[in-house]
Chains A and B, each alone.
Chain A
């Protein structure tokens, strides 16, 4: 059974850096074709894809956030870390990590973690 869980601060101040950790079980991020993505959702709004890291360390970012995002993996710890710099109140929302095998859907997703950006 594949499970993922996001962890990190629930409240960050504007201009601070957010670090979120996705801890997973049930798969290995060194297996060919496997990737983990981050997706966020502002309150009451649609899903927004942020970043993706592949089994071979290749990564992809949302162009609009590319300069602020870094995604890394620690295969030995079964973790993926997302950092987002220069946080702003508009970055408030629920942040999800999700597993993907192949080129199709994200499945399953973590439960999500709500991050509020406020001074």
Chain B
């Protein structure tokens, strides 16, 4: 089974900061890596799919990169509405796996 290791588990940042979250797969998953944002009490929403494709309607300050085993989600300039928890997800093969999550908090 493929394991997903996400880091950091939490992050404090300020509005306007550039933030990077990483996700590592235990084996190659090509570009089958997706990123979600989840706010308290809400369902996750996809931000990035196929490692670097921006979901329709998602602000361009979000970007994804990587292939194989190492991936990153970058927020170029944090906005107040970006403080949430972020998850990576591999859809290369079942059993699918999510990362442990990164809680992004206001500094």
Q: Is A119 among interface residues, defined by CB-CB distance under 8 A?
A: no
Q: Is the beta-carbon distance between A63 and B1 smaller than 8 angstroms?
A: yes
A48 partner residues in chain B, CB cutoff 8 A: 98
A47 to B100, CA, bound (A): 8
Other-chain contact of A105, B55, B94, B101 (Cβ < 8 Å): B55
Counting contact residues on chain B (CB < 8 A from A), the size range is 20 to 34
Q: Is A24 among interface residues, defined by CB-CB distance under 8 A?
A: no
Q: Is the beta-carbon distance between A96 and B43 smaller than 8 angstroms?
A: yes
B21 partner residues in chain A, CB cutoff 8 A: none
Q: Is the beta-carbon distance between A46 and B96 smaller than 8 angstroms?
A: no
Q: Is A107 among interface residues, defined by CB-CB distance under 8 A?
A: yes
Q: Is the beta-carbon distance between B87 and A105 smaller than 8 angstroms?
A: no
Q: How far is the CB of A5 from chain B (nearest CB, A)?
A: 11
In A45-78, the 8 Å CB interface with B consists of 46-49, 52, 60-63
Tell me the nearest residue of chain B to A100, going by C-beta: B91
Interface 9-mer from A14-22, A26-34, A85-93, A109-117: A109-117
List residues of chain B with CB under 8 Å of any chain A CB.
1, 32, 34, 36, 38, 43-46, 49-50, 55, 87, 89, 91-92, 94-101
* CB pairs A–B below 8 angstroms (15 shown): A46-B87, A46-B98, A46-B100, A46-B101, A48-B98, A49-B97, A62-B95, A96-B43, A100-B91, A103-B92, A104-B49, A104-B50, A106-B44, A106-B89, A107-B55
